Structure 1
């Protein structure tokens, strides 16, 4: 059984019930999440051994967050505690033509105060054969960037497969480092690249279009610039409105280009964490299937996440395979 390590912030999400705006209510529901947390829990739901590395508040909120992760069999032994508060974000869930809106409160969070000496990477990576990171984490602070880089250096030295979704939140980068410079530096450690044209253009300073030929050419150039990258996978979202969308994937694995059929989602329950569901599905798929089936599995996992409230994809391998077999009607299973 593969052991996968993720590193990133544990967040609490606060949101009005349903599709209300904050001004409409004084009743909120909360969920725990965070990009890498979402990936780790999804992979645990798929049956993998997963360890999440983070720094969280040393209070009852932090205790609750750890209990939440443990309830999904995520290893929390390398989560460290801080006097700073847990990071928060506020979400108003949109519908139809009204988009969802998010406000972050994480600049002084427990995780933003992480530094390399707080993480015992030797212990954290013991027995690990896959590490996953995203472009959000290095944007939080110099300490988060330095700590992630130290982990990647050690993971690469150990021959661990390293996957990355380099998508970042530009508004988080407030400590004097340019996002493009940081991501380009960390790209030297990436084996599996989970990003599309926008991310490749950011890294290479190019202006490729969104067509398949441009994607192939861009992927080849990315691999040429970063020879450690073996495969490029892109999740494509086709939006009709905020409640009705389609998901598909495409890839260049250094040998061939392939693209999945689009999966239509006619009524979105929750869009948060869907990219993370794709990443987790792809990691699971690459550890168990060939590249194309892995991408099909990732696309189906992503589509299913749209049906669950909260940040986490609760789908199991059986659920994903059920969808892949053509069961899209939602009939009651007895």
Structure 2
């Protein structure tokens, strides 16, 4: 098993019930989550030593974050306490032809307001195999654009593989700003979650109507030959409650694609991409065969869609049982 640290912001999420608009809701479900924290939880579920690096307020909400992470056996030794507030967001759940929508309330959060690296690099990266971060973190502030690059460079200096999920959020920054920052970060990345839209709109690769995803992976790799693995999902949205999901992987100059996972009805789509990322990193840490890796990652993403909350709640054994039994069959 491997040792992984993930860095990012964790937030308090308020969700409506399906069929209720946010403006008309008088009851909201509460969950804690964030992309990098969700990846750490997945990896801890699979038996890896995973720790989450962040900052939360020194109050009951910050303590609740710590307990949430510890519940899933994620290390909290690098969780700092201080600052003014925990970032929040509001999710209006989609159903049928109406998509889900998000309202952020995360400005001036404890993590977003950080302006310096308040951890010891030697302690942070000691014996770590993978350092995982996403594009959400540098989108939070100009300070985090600088700090993210500094931490990635420090991870490389200490012999860590760097995993980066582009995870573009249009509500946090523009494509132009994201593209500029990505071009400073990607030269230090080993494993990258990216799709063809990222290649076109963020990395400036000219679209080719007759080309498929492997073409864009090759073009990104020509720009950044240091990146050895690319991965992403292809999703066909029948409705907000009915999706078809395929996982894709580019590794050793070869393209791999999973079987299609039919996800209907969707209980909660949030965190599906993080579960997929956790599945890929699990396979890389265990040096699994690429086809096995992509099937596992796609299955764990499909399973995440069946539970409420941001994080994947399934073990390696449960994911493998799901794959063996087939979707929807009783596991006896």
Q: Which residue of 1 aligns with 2:177?
A: 178
Separation (CA, whole Å) in 2 of partners of 1:161 and 1:205: 25
Q: Which residue of 1 aligns with 2:147?
A: 147
Equivalent positions of 1:1-12 (< 5 A) are 1-12=1-12
* SS across alignment from 1:118: coil
Query: Is 1:98–2:70 an aligned residue pair?
Result: no
Deviation at 1:304, TM superposition (A): 0.5
Q: Which residue of 1 aligns with 2:190?
A: 191
* SS across alignment from 1:294: helix
Q: Does the aligned pair in 1 maintain the 2:18–2:95 contact within 8 Å?
A: no
Q: Which residue of 2 aligns with 1:86?
A: 86
Unaligned 5+ segments in structure 1 are none
Q: Does the aligned pair in 1 maintain the 2:163–2:192 contact within 8 Å?
A: yes
* Deviation sequence 1:121-165 (CA, Å, 0-9, x none): 221111211111111111001222222211100111122111111
Equivalent positions of 1:284-299 (< 5 A) are 284-288=282-286, 289-299=288-298
Equivalences, count: 330
Deviation at 1:202, TM superposition (A): 3.1
Separation (CA, whole Å) in 2 of partners of 1:310 and 1:330: 23
Equivalent positions of 1:223-234 (< 5 A) are 223-234=221-232
Q: Does the aligned pair in 2 maintain the 1:116–1:150 contact within 8 Å?
A: no
Q: Which residue of 2 aligns with 1:166?
A: 166
Q: Does the aligned pair in 2 maintain the 1:5–1:131 contact within 8 Å?
A: yes
Unaligned 5+ segments in structure 2 are none
What TM-score do the two structures reach when normalised by structure 1?
Answer: 0.94
Q: Which residue of 2 aligns with 1:246?
A: 244
Equivalent positions of 1:171-320 (< 5 A) are 171-173=171-173, 178-209=177-208, 213-288=211-286, 289-320=288-319
* SS across alignment from 1:223: helix
1:19/1:34 Cα in 2 relative to 1: closer, same or farther (>3 Å)?
A: farther
* SS across alignment from 1:74: coil
Separation (CA, whole Å) in 1 of partners of 2:129 and 2:117: 23
Moved more, 140-149 or 64-73: 140-149
Q: Which residue of 2 aligns with 1:118?
A: 118
1:270/1:170 Cα in 2 relative to 1: closer, same or farther (>3 Å)?
A: same
Separation (CA, whole Å) in 2 of partners of 1:102 and 1:285: 31
* Deviation sequence 1:19-42 (CA, Å, 0-9, x none): 422233311221000111111111
Q: Does the aligned pair in 2 maintain the 1:208–1:215 contact within 8 Å?
A: no
Q: Does the aligned pair in 2 maintain the 1:208–1:214 contact within 8 Å?
A: no
Question: What's the RMSD between the two structures over aligned residues?
Answer: 1.7
Separation (CA, whole Å) in 2 of partners of 1:178 and 1:146: 13
Deviation at 1:253, TM superposition (A): 1.5
Deviation at 1:209, TM superposition (A): 4.9
Separation (CA, whole Å) in 1 of partners of 2:43 and 2:222: 30
Q: Could you list the runs of 4 or more consecutive aligned residues of structure 1 that deviate by over 6 angstroms after TM superposition? A: none
What TM-score do the two structures reach when normalised by structure 2?
Answer: 0.95
